[in-house]
Structure 1
């Protein structure tokens, strides 16, 4: 995919951060999910668990949201972008996964730091989660439903219980 175009059918998101819900956790807190970063050709890399960064097989299913980034904000272009993703993936392939402190969001932040995206370092998991929540696009209506339907169903159950019990 040299053209850099997003292809939802093939799950290719060049120069994007991608996100998918985490079962149970996202159902109660819909802003928390699993994150990955894509190469210039759109292949997803995600820190999927202890000592494992998956390639093109996101740990919790296909992305439901994506946040397009500007490859022109990386000095060195596509090569520097891909090197940042590769170096972060190599590093996280040697790390133990920690749900709260060193996780998939940290992997993405490290990749952005290594490529000095927007000339910045210091990317972090909280900032990335907030930016994904604010600027992420749904892959389609199905992605929206997969993200929000469980949360809305749980809210409806609580409302019914509160009103009728």
Structure 2
């Protein structure tokens, strides 16, 4: 998951193959391979391959591949069909945790709950711009209300 300035709790998202290659829906009709759209991940959520209920020895990689192939033919939509949707499709195809109800809202929530920052620097880089922006907005609001 990659950080965002305005909504750091959402971020950009990709999913790894079993060999650690990250696939992410990086833009219209484009799924990148091991080169995330906004740089290296700042946060990750380690999934358990034992939770894959799809059949076959390569079910994880097949699901990631099939989701990526599908998203190579889709237009990117910030609110409706985005990087989170791509990951959700992969999890639905593999029936991760015996579920086919994965979506971008659930993924965002689970990443907030179970995600870990790759370093303290990644945490600071994720949250500092947001906190500074919030501080500026609050300061301006207070100054305007004092008048």
- Asked if Structure 1 and Structure 2 have the same fold, meaning a TM-score greater than 0.5 normalized by the shorter chain, the answer is yes
Q: TM-score, normalised by structure 1?
A: 0.81
Q: TM-score, normalised by structure 2?
A: 0.91
Tell me: higher relative CO, structure 1 or 2? Use CA pairs within 8 A at least 6 residues apart: 2
Give the greater-gyration-radius structure (CA).
2
Distance 1:37 1:120 in 2: 17
Unpaired stretches in structure 1, ≥5 consecutive residues: 1-18
Unpaired stretches in structure 2, ≥5 consecutive residues: none
Distance 2:48 2:56 in 1: 10
Question: Does structure 2 conserve the Cα–Cα contact (< 8 Å) formed by 1:106 and 1:125?
Answer: yes
Count the aligned residue pairs. 143
Distance 1:105 1:29 in 2: 14
Q: Once the 2 structures are TM-superposed, how far is the Cα of residue 155 of structure 1 from its aligned partner?
A: 1.8
1:29-79 CA deviation, whole Å, 9 max, x = no partner? 221211000011111000000100000000011100000111001135761
Match of residue 138 from structure 1: 117
Question: Does structure 2 conserve the Cα–Cα contact (< 8 Å) formed by 1:71 and 1:78?
Answer: no
Q: Once the 2 structures are TM-superposed, how far is the Cα of residue 164 of structure 1 from its aligned partner?
A: 4.5
Distance 2:56 2:135 in 1: 47
What's the RMSD between the two structures over aligned residues? 1.5
Match of residue 27 from structure 2: 49
